[in-house]
Chain A
Amino acid sequence: MMRSNKVQDFSFHHLIRGTILIGFMLLLFKLLLTNNISLLIAPKMIRFIYFTLFICLILGVLLILRGTSGKNHSYHCDCDGDHTYPSSFGKSMFLYLLFIIPITTGFLFSNNVLGSSVAMNRTIKLGSSSQVPSQTNTLKNSAKGASSSNTTQTASATNTQSVLDNQPEPLTQKEYEELKNQLLKANNINIDDNQYVNIMNIIQDNLSAMIGKTVTTKGFVYREKEFMQNQIIVARFGITCCVADASVYGMMAKGDVAALSKDKWVQITGKIEQTQFNGETIPVIKISQLSKITAPKQPYVFDVGVRIE
């Protein structure tokens, strides 16, 4: 049989595969240590990374032992010989470089943060997501009733979360409604990172009730092609599982912003107004206060979602 003729060759494959797995394990370990992992995937996925790290270590060590032991005959797998090893040196080089190159670039460039150049290629949701007009109306009506009460209260606690902390648990429907009512009552809304996506959705969906409220938000400066000199979007990338599913969230802001270059991080405060953009009615913040800030350690916000009971 072919297998026994090429014992030598197989031990090479086992050794190099084991080494690649160890390399991958080191990459994961480094990403966890430097916390760059949070620039790639959402915190709720990190437990899977621990699992992977552990498995890669075991398999890597096992494969290296298998490659060095020289007893290659001892193993015949049950899988009817469907694992084939590349037959020529060139093919194996291609196969293994396929793994080695990404691991190398992973070590070197994992601290990259997505910015305007990626946001430009994505669609950005500035207005309400509701597509059914009747539903929007009912929402608006109920919102109007609520907005009459005038308690001053910041929307949510601004506990600055450490980056390594786990993703906040998804809200239940009830908590989401509570958050919504809280926002409708409040005069000052601070768009907190923890609930960023939820708060943005609530503001966009209940726009008419939100007009006149003061909001504070931070994000990077992003401009659509059609924007005037005094308009920017204060944008964030929202991530569900990994950076590949990042979508751009943000709020349009207007004021004296022509000098701000794109991708600069800013914190703005201002009153919500509404405006028309691309045929949609969207909220816009009239900037009363603007400060440049350093990019936060966790530039992305995480879409925690709502749990269905």
Chain B
Amino acid sequence: MINRMIKDSLVFLLFCLFLFLFLFAEELKNISFFNRIPGVFFNVNTIFLSIILEAIPFILLGVFVSAVIQSFVSENVIRRVLPRNAYLALIPAALLGIIFPICECAIVPVVRRLIKKGMPSHVGVVFMLSAPILNPVVYASTYFAFKSTPYVANARISIAFICSIMIGLIIYRRFKGENILKVQKEANHHIDHHHHKRGNKLLETLYHASDELFDTGKYLFIGAFLASLFQAFLDRNVLLSIGSSTTVAPFIMMGLGYVLSVCSSADAFVASSFGSTFTEGSILAFLVFGPMIDIKNTLILFGYFKKKFVIYLLVVTPLIVYVTVYVFQLIFIS
């Protein structure tokens, strides 16, 4: 009971803290202590907040879409819609993003739910990797950011399509029939909740969404923090000296895409700021790899999928992207 009281008062104190900050944050800023904080802290904080503010609405959207799938899409529907052939199913999965333009933050909960509902894992993975790139919003922003070289947008789309299909095939070979989601202790829970009288379905969905929001949110916060550190401290001009190498530059840019964790609808503008110093291949590698995997969604992946699978994906994806970009360079850019 005492324990309970302490915890309740903690919550109450927290509430008071928020209320106090809401009302008096401006006055607090004048305290001399804050003047001694180095300016770079503020920059990290600003970038961190902006990543969070940008991602949270889409995480929420992802969580709700996942809740809707949970309630309204049955296993049968998924089985009927997807082609029987495991290889054939990859193609619609890769193009699904055109109809559902979901960015990389929102997609992970959705894909997890779909896989749980019986979508084959490799198909889910292909959807997860391609949707953030193969969608109209991203195409438009890429087209604009590279106005003077319009084929960059087309190349980005094509490479992303090829890469996601290839990764899907590899995942199919390696994890066929295996469960790639984190295992839950579900044995008796499953039986248990069926004879429970269901309460308000809407309420359940909302409870469910809030739990999932915190589950995903913690990874988002850690990921956004790491990304904002890189954003504030990594001097991108250092990269320019290696930008002209056709073999090394794509790797460097993939690494950059990974650590910066810029949303896929905006990363083309970041890429275009590198301008002509980097090879086109490396710009494409940045544009394809960044949305597929970056710091913040790596952490979310680790939260939802088995460690073995995530590590495998983290190794395979950059390799495939690198090889594809390299081949693309040989064929089209010389």
Contacts and interface: CB of A to CB of B under 8 A. Distances in A.
Nearest to A303: B269
A15 B8 CA distance: 8
A256 B218 CA distance: 51
A240 B266 contact: yes
Interface stretch (B79-87, B166-174, B205-213, B311-319): B205-213
B193 A248 contact: no
B277 A123 contact: yes
A99 B3 CA distance: 23
Contact of A242 (B7, B50, B237): B50
A242 B276 contact: no
Contacts of A45: 53-54, 57
Residue among B11, B139, B260 facing the most chain A CB atoms (10 A cut-off): B11
A12 B222 contact: no
Interface string A113-143: 0100110111111011111100110000000
- Size category of the A interface is 35 or more
Interface string B178-211: 0000101110111011001001000110111111
Contacts of B192: 1, 76
A100 to B, nearest CB: 7
A31 B260 CA distance: 24
B121 interface: no
Interface in B22-49: 22, 25, 28-29, 34, 39-40, 42-43, 45-49
22 contacts: A1-B189, A12-B4, A15-B7, A21-B210, A23-B17, A27-B18, A48-B58, A52-B57, A62-B210, A81-B184, A83-B215, A98-B221, A102-B52, A107-B25, A112-B43, A121-B234, A121-B235, A122-B273, A123-B236, A245-B270, A248-B273, A305-B140
Interface of A: 1, 8, 12, 15-17, 19-23, 26-31, 37, 39-41, 45, 48-49, 51-52, 55, 58-59, 62-63, 66, 74-83, 95, 98-100, 102-110, 112, 114, 117-118, 120-125, 127-132, 135-136, 170, 201, 205, 238, 240-245, 247-248, 280, 303, 305-308
Interface of B: 3-4, 7-8, 10-11, 14-15, 17-19, 21-22, 25, 28-29, 34, 39-40, 42-43, 45-54, 56-58, 60, 70-71, 116, 139-141, 143-149, 182, 184-186, 188-190, 192-193, 196, 199, 203-204, 206-215, 217-218, 221-222, 225, 227-228, 231-237, 240, 260-263, 265-267, 269-270, 272-277, 280
